[in-house]
Structure 1
Amino acid sequence: MGGVCCRPTPVDFDGDVTLFHFVLLRCVGKGAFGKVRVVQHKQTKDLYALKYINKAKCVKMKAVPNVIQERRLLEEIDHPFVVNLRYAFQDDENCFFVLDLMLGGDLRFHLERLGSLEEEVVRFYVAQLSSAIQFLHDNNIMHRDIKPDNILLDERGNAHLTDFNIGLKFSEKRLMGVAGSMAYMAPEILTKRGYSYQIDWWSLGVCAYELIFGRRPFRGRTNNDLSYSITKDPLKWPEEAEKKCSRPGMQVLKGLLERDPTRRFGCKPQGEGFQELRRHPWFKPIDWDTLESKEQIPPFVPDGKKANFDASHELEELLLEDNPLKAKTRKANQENFSPEMRQMEEQFTTYDFKKMQRRSYFPHNQQQLISTATATSSGMASSRPGTPAHDLRGENGVSINGHSLELNGGDHDAMRAERMMNEKDYD
């Protein structure tokens, strides 16, 4: 008799996507606004990563424009080496991103575990990421926070770029606002003379150098020291560098870490910079024709028998969470909304990749983008999301727009964020 009231609510899979469409599984990340957890679609059985953002905390931290910006950019993006948006929706408490799941951990996790990576492994990642970066730039999108924390491996070892919460559309106008994680910022950001998409290639160079040598090319014990090093210090190589990196590899690193954006690798207009990079002798082992189809066998395969993230997030969810996530029917009364809550309600729109075409929300790029990607199967997850906030840091690389920051410089309607720099940025 009592069993009748406990029957599960029927799920309308033909209607708009909601949290009722998913089974909530383990928690794998944590941020200031919410958490990241694995979910399974009840109808397709596909696994995804669910990033959810608490609306009240988002408003308190003045992050509403960034959340909406990320939501809009992700709908426009669809690339094999980028974390792709599959669904977006909201309830009364949270905004939800459902993205491709990453099973292999991020490169910060692997770098801290291994100390450094083999040159052939890094070359493979740089090739995949340069393909993703060029796709973004072809669509007038700048990432602005490329770093090992935001590079995710699928279970086969392919690299994916994630976390677009300070990404933005760019035009011919140069930007002035300081944005990104300081240790990976291009010198033109720090000198405040204006910058554009070329900064992403610099950040890729810092990542590649750090992955090969286990340390960053420019360092300082304070913000001022680090800024001076990035803008003034000559590029130096560690002792016995040639044992870790070939001469062609060093040439690519030097080209990416060129302070003059007009001479930096990857930066020539109309895609010529990317083609120049592809032709470099260092990439001779890369079959560019099959790279994006993921036919090549990655040189490093993450250990599938181990969790490539901090398991304490799940324990904390079980023991300490006083308001665990669960699907709830909406009760929102828009008459009582603050302007910020109304903005989220109206502009964080529902998205379902199986029912909708990808499109641009931005006036200077209105072409309709039709997705060619297919849903991830539960056995072949492709990527993992970053966290929604600027000042978060997950342990062992799962959550994670670590210490990125954005100072409102008039480049777009961005959140004001406090500078939260980790000592690791300086060592």
Structure 2
Amino acid sequence: MGCCFSEPVDFNGEVSLYHFDLHRAVGKGAFGKVRVVEHKRSNKLYALKYIDKSRCVRQKAMANIIQERRLLEEIDHPFIVNLRYAFQDDENCFFVLDLMLGGDLRFHLERQRYIPEDTVMFWVAELASALDYLHRQRIIHRDLKPDNILLDATGHAHITDFNVAIHYSERRLHTSVAGSMAYMAPQVVGRKGYNWAIDWWSLGITAYELLFHKRPFDGRNAEKMTQSILKDPLRFPDNAHTRCSEAGLSVLRGLIDKDPNTRLGCRPTGFGFEDIRNHPWFSSIDWNALEAKECQPPFVPDMKQANFDVAHELDEFLMVEKPLTHSKRKVNPDLEKMRPELRQLEEQFTVYDFSRSKRLSYYPHNQAIGTESTSTDRTCVQSTTGTLVPTATIVERSQAGSPMCETENHYMPTIPSSRGFASS
């Protein structure tokens, strides 16, 4: 399903969809799809995530889209799906991202009877490195789960989907409910106020699920799941010691700690990540080699088969959805006559080209651009059996008057000099 557009392309001009050939669809989100694209001049393959503007406006998600666009410009890390280009046409906003053809961890979790401990440990180490980087950039992901972790062709894990990510406040804890309920920390579902420490809880729940094919806290509806997260003690399956070493169970206990003051990775003054690096479970990890991607992943995806749901491509092939096509923009659109929401996208979803632009930081100015999405498509989702769908992303408005941090030094890691990461 490639594109044969033959008109000459001006690669010296502003990046647009005409710079890319369109290939197969490999994923689907709330507002659009993800396709493989090939840059016509470099022949490099990327993932194209495109957002339908009209659907975005109907679901009042403009602020989230612009926020994601801005945050991605600040990020460059080996275990994150990094932004390479951003642009828009009259119908869509486009993110061109690093291509990950190894599939997401939900895909592999559902197709494998058992994921070995050494594989889970390796992925957790890579993800911990990425989370530490994000927190040093003052960013909370808020939606870490197997669905939002992608493997590349060699098996390295990468965090993706920053649609509900935010900068954390230096003075106030956040109270908005955002993320996927089964992976939310008690501080989120209990609306007690939270910061970056919630990402470590989500990493723990993800690791638990990868090891045992179940989550530690569950419920058939939102209320029961909330009570389970708030009150139930952490328990392991009866066969836990056949699946995981005591060192691995120790990491799970440390990450899935209801108290952020004692949670693994959350020690004050920015040294929490050292507790993870020095934990016995990771004794085999050379962290410098890991962060340079010099370590061989224990699991390598089978690249002879599709590591995604082929139904995404069939939707367009069978004309279930309008296929994406190259289209020229209107010349000099009249912003004054645009709907305010479309004007906001036009003005704030700016063009980015990694080959020409330096990555900029919007912090501390990259605060909430507007109210967060409250669309019905992005609240708790119920299945046909009435069971809560725990992987559906939830977004609610922040409550007024977020609680102050009790002690700022406790809740905020200091930002020491970078350890070789790309600066934002």
Q: Deviations over 1:192-223 (max 9, x none)?
A: 11111100000000000010011101111221
Structure-2 residue corresponding to 1:240 = 239
Asked if 1 retains the 8 angstrom alpha-carbon contact of 2:378 and 2:392, the reply is no
CA distance in 2: counterparts of 1:209 and 1:405, whole angstroms: 21
Determine helix, strand or coil for the equivalent of 1:231.
Answer: helix
Take 1:53 and 1:390, find their aligned partners in 2: how far apart are those partners? 19
User: What amino acid is aligned across from residue 341 of structure 2 in structure 1?
Assistant: E
**1:214 partner letter:** H
Q: Judging changes above 3 Å, is the alpha-carbon distance between structure 1 residues 316 and 213 closer, same or farther for their aligned structure 2 residues?
A: same
Q: Whose relative contact order is higher, 1 or 2, with alpha carbons under 8 Å and at least 6 apart?
A: 1
Equivalent-residue separation in structure 1 for 2:398 and 2:378 (angstroms)? 18
Cα gap change, 1:322 to 1:159, in 2 (>3 Å): closer
Aligned partners of 1:100, 1:273: CA distance in 2, in Å? 29
Verify: 1:92 aligned to 2:93, yes or no: no
Equivalent in 11, 28, 31 of residue 29 of structure 2 = 31
Asked if 2 retains the 8 angstrom alpha-carbon contact of 1:126 and 1:204, the reply is yes
1:272 match: 271
Q: In structure 2, list runs of 5 or more residues that go unmatched.
A: 368-376, 383-389, 402-424
Contact in 2 for aligned 1:134/1:271 (Cα 8 Å): no
Distance 1:76 1:245, change over 3 A: same
Tell me the distance in 2 between the aligned counterparts of 1:113 and 1:34.
25
Taking only the aligned residue pairs, the percentage that are identical comes to 58
Instruction: Tell me the alpha carbon deviations over residues 318-343 of structure 1, each in whole angstroms, 9 at most, x when there is no partner.
Output: 11146321111111432321111000
Give the match for residue 213 of structure 1: 212
The whole-number CA distance in structure 2 between the counterparts of 1:344 and 1:12 is 24
* 1:390 to partner: Cα distance: 7.2
SS state of the match for residue 320, structure 1?
Answer: coil
Aligned amino acid, residue 347 of structure 1: Q
Q: Residues 112-261 of structure 1 correspond to what in structure 2 (within 5 A)?
A: 112-172=110-170, 173-261=172-260
- 1:329 matched residue in structure 2: 328
Q: CA RMSD in A?
A: 2.1
Question: 1:101-142 CA deviation, whole Å, 9 max, x = no partner?
Answer: 111000000000013311100000110000000000001000
Superposition map of 1:303-322 within 5 A? 303-321=302-320
Runs of 4+ more than 6 Å apart: 388-393
Q: Could you give the per-residue CA deviations for residues 126-179 of structure 1, whole angstroms, max 9, x where no partner exists?
A: 100000000000010000000000011001000000000000001221011111
Residue aligned with 2:268, SS? coil
Structure-2 separation of matches of 1:261 and 1:268: 9
Q: Measure how far apart 1:268 and its partner are.
A: 1.4
C-alpha distance after superposition, 1:389-426 (max 9, x if no partner) = 77899xxxxxxx950111101489xxxxxxxxxxxxxx
Corresponding residue of 2:371? none
Post-superposition Cα deviations, 1:355-411, rounded to whole Å, max 9, x if no partner, equal: 000011233689xxxxxxxxxxxxxxxxxxxxx977899xxxxxxx95011110148
Deviation at 1:288, TM superposition (A): 0.7
Superposed, which structure 2 residues align to 1:6-85 within 5 Å?
8-85=6-83
Measured after TM superposition, the shift of residue 78 of structure 1 is: 0.3
SS at match of 1:68: helix
- Conserved 8 A contact 1:390-1:402: no
In 1, Cα distance between equivalents of 2:227 and 2:381: 25
Is 2:109–2:213's contact at 8 Å kept on the other side of the alignment?
A: yes
- The 3-state SS of whatever aligns with 1:97 is strand
Task: Specify the SS of the correspondent of 1:405.
Answer: strand
Instruction: Call closer, same or farther: CA 1:7–1:281 in 2, change over 3 Å.
Output: closer
**Distance in 1, Cα, partners of 2:217 & 2:114:** 17
Q: 1:291 to 1:392 in 2, by over 3 A?
A: farther
User: Partner amino acid for 1:355?
Assistant: R
Q: Could you tell me which residue of structure 1 aligns to residue 397 of structure 2?
A: 408
Cα distance in 2 for residues equivalent to 1:269 and 1:133: 16
Aligned mates of 1:155, 1:390 — CA distance in 2: 33
